[in-house]
């Protein structure tokens, strides 16, 4: 079986943690590196959290502490959602492993060149690391197969009226990625908000007893018990949905559109603008997710928990 080489660019992050654990479990994904960035919390914490997650999964991809700040703006974080440690206060042990010696841009370049055009990137954070790599190594435009990113939206935002968090934190970076010519899949709020795990569904998932499954179901409970979840039917699975696209592309329905991101405006900075009616006449650059299959997502999540369960007995 030929596995897909993958880099996860992330800012763990409650839902990031679930997404990373899903990818580390999947038999067809070869997670080469996890590059971290300031986002949900500082890069000092997101980097350490990534080390904790890989040790929990008993996997050894390269873990890289990447950009602390966006390309030009001040970092906006989200500890009010993810807790002070960024992981819902679940208290994973301090990591014993160490960061990879190269920076994020050099690691992305290294893995892209080694994969010879087959590398995929799961981008579930502000895309500062990826944009920095593209600026430093223009050849990456030809060496990265696909970027699946959780970010943006075709509807209203969750930080401002127009902007989703990852796009809002570093819209300049997102614009570089959107204009790179790399095949991109946008998994935005319009589909992640309809992808949830209810408390009742999570109780079923708790039949699994692996340490990894217990962390995932604990984090889902954390989200379901959070004040802002009252707006939804269950725990919203932003980053895990994006991860599941790598496991089954049919978990979302997409159409190919031209997408850009607004860099100015009190109400619009960070807003992603989708050219639904080809007003610009520009070539489509993003496969935009327009709907998701919640039942299929639950199946994929269940399958990944079963992988960890099976590892206990083998």
Residues 6+ apart with CB under 8 A from 198: 224, 233, 234, 235
Superfamily of structural domain 4-312: Ribonucleoside hydrolase-like (3.90.245.10)
8 A C-beta contact, residue 17 and residue 222: no
Alpha-carbon gap, residue 46 to 166, rounded angstroms: 14
* pLDDT tens per residue, range 73-107: 999 998 888 888 888 889 899 999 999 999 999 99
* pLDDT tens per residue, range 113-128: 999 999 999 999 999 9
User: Which ranges constitute the DSSP H helices of the chain?
Assistant: 14-25, 43-57, 79-82, 104-115, 128-136, 140-143, 165-169, 171-178, 189-192, 199-205, 211-224, 238-247, 294-312
What is the residue extent of each domain of the chain? Answer: 4-312
8 A C-beta contact, residue 145 and residue 118: yes
Q: How many residues does the chain have?
A: 314
8 A C-beta contact, residue 126 and residue 35: no
| pTM tops 0.95 | yes
Alpha-carbon gap, residue 67 to 64, rounded angstroms: 10
- Return the pLDDT at 86: 82
- Report the catalytic residues: 238
* pLDDT tens per residue, range 39-82: 999 999 999 999 999 999 999 999 999 999 999 999 999 888 88
- Return the pLDDT at 293: 98
8 A C-beta contact, residue 205 and residue 196: no
Sign of CA dihedral 87, 92, 93, 97: negative
Closest C-alpha among 258, 261, 242 to residue 147: 242
* 117 burial via Cβ count (<10 Å: 0-12, 13-18, 19+): exposed
For residue 151, give Cα distances in angstroms to 29, 41, 124, 144, 157: 22, 17, 7, 19, 10
- Return the pLDDT at 314: 66
């Amino acid at each position: 079986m030929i596995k897909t080489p993958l880099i996860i660019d992330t800012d763990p992050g409650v839902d990031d943690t679930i997404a990373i654990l899903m990818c580390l479990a999947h038999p067809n994904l070869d997670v080469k590196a996890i590059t971290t960035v300031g986002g949900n919390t500082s890069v000092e914490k997101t980097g350490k959290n990534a080390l904790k997650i890989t040790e929990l999964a008993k996997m050894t991809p390269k873990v890289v502490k990447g950009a602390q700040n966006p390309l030009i703006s001040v970092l906006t974080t989200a500890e009010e959602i993810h807790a002070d440690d960024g992981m819902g206060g679940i208290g994973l042990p301090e990591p014993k492993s160490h960061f990879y010696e190269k920076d994020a841009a050099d690691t992305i370049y290294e893995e892209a060149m080694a994969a010879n055009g087959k590398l995929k990137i799961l981008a579930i954070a502000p895309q500062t690391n990826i944009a920095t790599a593209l600026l430093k190594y223009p050849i990456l435009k030809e060496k990265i197969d696909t970027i699946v990113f959780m970010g943006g939206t075709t509807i209203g935002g969750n930080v401002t009226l127009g902007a989703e968090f990852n796009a809002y934190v570093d819209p300049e970076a997102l614009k570089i990625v959107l204009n790179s010519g790399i095949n991109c899949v946008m998994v935005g709020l319009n589909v992640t908000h309809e992808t949830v795990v209810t408390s009742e569904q999570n109780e079923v998932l708790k039949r699994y007893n692996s340490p990894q499954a217990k962390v995932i179901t604990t984090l889902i409970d954390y989200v379901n018990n959070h004040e802002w979840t009252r707006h939804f039917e269950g725990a919203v699975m932003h980053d895990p949905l994006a991860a599941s696209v790598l496991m089954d592309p049919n978990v979302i329905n997409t159409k190919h559109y031209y997408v850009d991101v607004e860099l100015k405006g009190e109400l619009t900075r960070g807003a992603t603008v989708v050219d639904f009616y080809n007003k610009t006449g520009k070539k489509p650059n993003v496969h935009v997710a327009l709907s998701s299959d919640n039942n299929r997502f639950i199946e994929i999540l269940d399958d990944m928990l079963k992988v960890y369960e099976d590892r206990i007995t083998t």
